[in-house]
Amino acid sequence: MSAAVLADPSRTCGTCNACCVHLGIDELQKPRGTPCKHLCRAGTTKQCGIYEQRPATCAAFACMWRMGFGPSQLKPSLSGLLITPQPADESGEPNHAGPFMRVFVSVIDRKNAKRYRRNVIQQLLNETAVRAIVEIIDGEDEGRLYRGGKVYRFAIGERPPWARSFENLYWLVDPDPIASYYLCGADDAPPEGGARALV
């Protein structure tokens, strides 16, 4: 789960609990993709049972929909997409610039996500501060990395016993890209090499 970011006060979680299921929380030793043990049934949905005492990571987190990205229909519980920013920090990790160095797009409901996925990827790739997009499909053991005009496939591995973080994914990126992309306006000519236009 990412560090503190600014949420749009007009957008609230309501009955959405996607981050409580699909993100890792180090303080609770909760790995990605596992429902939080503190989720309690409240009517027809589940809500945090320790909300007032929840970890600082949870209190500081906001998905990109809550930050104002996309239309109201892009709320994770409606769109099937949980879009998580990874803010730039002082970790020394290369290739970070601007507010975000990577954005994770988690497909948590394939049926609903089908309507929005392509447009979301296109819009994120147009954000100059986003250096890479990591796309993960719930229940699958591989994903896609969009970076530098190339699309790479990666395998998701199990969390090693020595690993300290429950938040991180462990993945091995195939060095050979499976596709290319470019970003252009309506009047731009495609580059040579057969790259596919995304916008």
Tens of pLDDT, residues 35-44:
999 998 876 6
pLDDT value at residue 125: 83
Closest CA to 107 of 116, 97, 98, 99: 116
Write the DSSP string, 82-130. EEEEEE--SS--TT--SSEEEEEEEES-HHHHTTTHHHHHHHHHT-TT-
Name the more confident of 87 and 153: 153
Spans of all domains in the chain: 63-197
- Paired tokens of 141: 């053991």
For position 156, what pLDDT does the model report? 79
> β-pairing, 45-48 with 81-87?
unpaired
CA dihedral 108, 112, 113, 116 (to 10 degrees): -150
Average pLDDT over residues 85-113: 69
- How far is CA 154 from each of CA 31, 34, 134, 145, 178, rounded to the nearest angstrom? 19, 21, 9, 7, 11
Q: Which of 113, 134, 112 is closest to 124 using CA atoms? A: 134
pTM: 0.79
